[in-house]
Amino acid sequence: MDSSTWLLFFFLASTITVTRADLPGTWELLVSNAGIATMHTAVTHHGTVILLDRTNIGPSRKMLRKGHCRYDPNDKVLKRDCYAHSVLFNPTNNQIRPLMILTDTWCSSGQFLPDGTLLQSGGDLDGLNKFRKFVPCEPDKLCDWQELQDVELDSGRWYATNQILPDGSVIIVGGRAANSVEFYPPKMGSVHLPFLGEVEDTQMDNLYPYVHLLPNGHLFIFANNKAILYDYSNNKVLHNYPPLDGGPRNYPSAGSSAMLALERDYSTAVIVICGGAEYGAFIARSTDTPAHGSCGRITATDAEAVWEMEDMAFARVMGDMVMLPTGDVLIINGAQAGSQGFEMGSNPCFNPLLYRPAEPAGLRFMTLNPGTVPRMYHSTANLLPDGRVLIAGSNPHYFYKLAGDLPTELRIEAFSPEYLSKDRANLRPVMEEYPDMVRYGDGFEVVVSVPLSVVGMVEVNLGSAPFVTHSFSQGQRLVKLTVTPAVPIGDGRYRIRCTAPPDGKIAPPGYYMAFAVNQGVPSVAQWVQLTA
């Protein structure tokens, strides 16, 4: 290679490096060994994060507290199991504490109750009909999982989806061989939902259906490539939406889905579904079949709604969609080929994408700074109160496999969107005064301080804490409150008058992260309980 060719090579290499470095967002390693592979995650109103795996996976890399072991004569791997399969992570000091869970939580579902308790339901084997609870405590206290003995699921639920309802109860939708719904607290037995059977195929693409509570009080339920408007109170399908092009979108062909932020008069709800696997990739166990890169967007509250199609910069299966405090959506994790399942994916997708709903079609996707850790099957992404996104998990293997190209991943990372960059620090507000509890429809005030003068309107947005598993955030929601212009009260402080959501159809009761957002830069959230 002559000197001019070498110069051209180094010029191109340096250009690529600069381009990568200039992409928005930053990564940081928080924990090099969480002790467990993470299949499910949820952020509590004490700011801690529950990480959860399955129990029948054999030895993890975290021991339970001394004297605490699980005894299960039916466990084929470890009948006396002294290893943790759930841990509690504290993002303020990156400490990990083991938790003890008894019944199998493999591919289970969950949702927070109005009092902040995490309800966890179903799973495999001895967990199939089980309910569990985790009552969060302060980080320096001891709290652990509770197996409920006085109530069980009417139908076994494996790969189901949970959604909190306006009255604070929870509906549990679908699951393998469970084309029905039921409720917690129990209101009746299982209620058959024929739609779930109609969209089931030979590779079961109706699992982990996408369920969104619309502001009209009905449910948008999507499975495979079809969706319905469902009146759960009367077990009635009110509307059939047009099919979404591009093949199946649910497990095992999983893309991901999010409902965009509710705002203004709260009458409109827009659903976005992105990515997915080619039909048949799962059946054929094909790891190199390219994933889909298409996204569908639909106004679910419109009687004549149709899908608007767009293409992402990357094909993606097993991605996660995270609602950011600004109303933008982060699409992160996943693979560019194969499907969900053990040893079923390949070609990790390292580049996150930012989906900007307010932009016109064709300009909504922004490519962000790539990570370096493959995050594929059984990985998760959760918004933290400080605005970062917690990234955990990835175990493409039936048991733990810590060597090879795509190992069982025990590292925990955080991705910081561009709004947390140093050049935007002077725009970041601080919530100095806020209520701990707000009732529906009530007016209330918050006081924020901002290093620079406020320009325009400061938003106050409520973000839920979803239960994240298998590329879908169950119960995820962002509600933009009606606010008055910020009034300066001296020393860089501003008073903002807010109006709480009118009812539980807009925001079900429970704990929310309240963010003040100034020119696209969110504050650290404060937890506010919304109640009737």
For the segment 325-338, what is each residue's pLDDT rounded down to a tens digit?
A: 999 999 999 999 99
Per residue in 477-507, pLDDT (tens digit) is 999 999 999 999 999 999 999 999 999 999 9
From residue 212, give the alpha-carbon distance in Å to each of 271, 294, 378, 505.
Answer: 8, 20, 22, 11
Q: What would the CATH number be for the domain defined by 23-420?
A: 2.130.10.80
Superfamily of domain 429-531: Immunoglobulins (2.60.40.10)
**What pLDDT score does 74 carry?**
87
Q: Select from 476, 112, 443, 457 the least CA-distant residue to 269.
A: 476
The pLDDT value given to residue 347: 97
Looking at residue 369, the DSSP 8-state letter turns out to be: -
Tens of pLDDT, residue by residue over 119-161, are 999 999 999 999 999 999 999 999 999 999 999 999 999 999 9
At residue 10, the pLDDT reads 34
Over residues 295-312, the pLDDT tens digits come to: 999 999 998 999 999 999
The arithmetic mean of pLDDT across residues 442-446, rounded, is 98
235-252 burial code (b ≥16 CB/10 A, e <16): eeeeeebeebebbbbbbb
Average pLDDT, the chain: 94
| CA neighbours closer than 13 Å in the CB half-sphere of residue 423 | 3
pLDDT by residue (tens digit) across 28-61? 999 999 999 999 999 999 999 999 999 999 999 9
Q: Are 395 and 408 in contact (CB under 8 A)?
A: yes
* The pLDDT of residue 453: 87
Domain ranges of the chain: 23-420, 429-531
Q: What percentage of residues in the chain have a pLDDT greater than 70? A: 96
Encoded amino acid at 92, one letter: T
pTM recorded for the entire structure: 0.95
Structure tokens at 283: 């059946």
- 62-118 pLDDT, tens digit per residue, is 999 998 999 999 888 999 999 999 999 999 999 999 999 999 999 999 999 999 999
pLDDT above 50 for 248: yes
Residue 21 pLDDT: 58
Whether 402 has a pLDDT exceeding 60, the answer reads yes
| Intrachain domains 23-420 and 429-531 with the same fold | no
Question: DSSP assignment, residue 317?
Answer: B
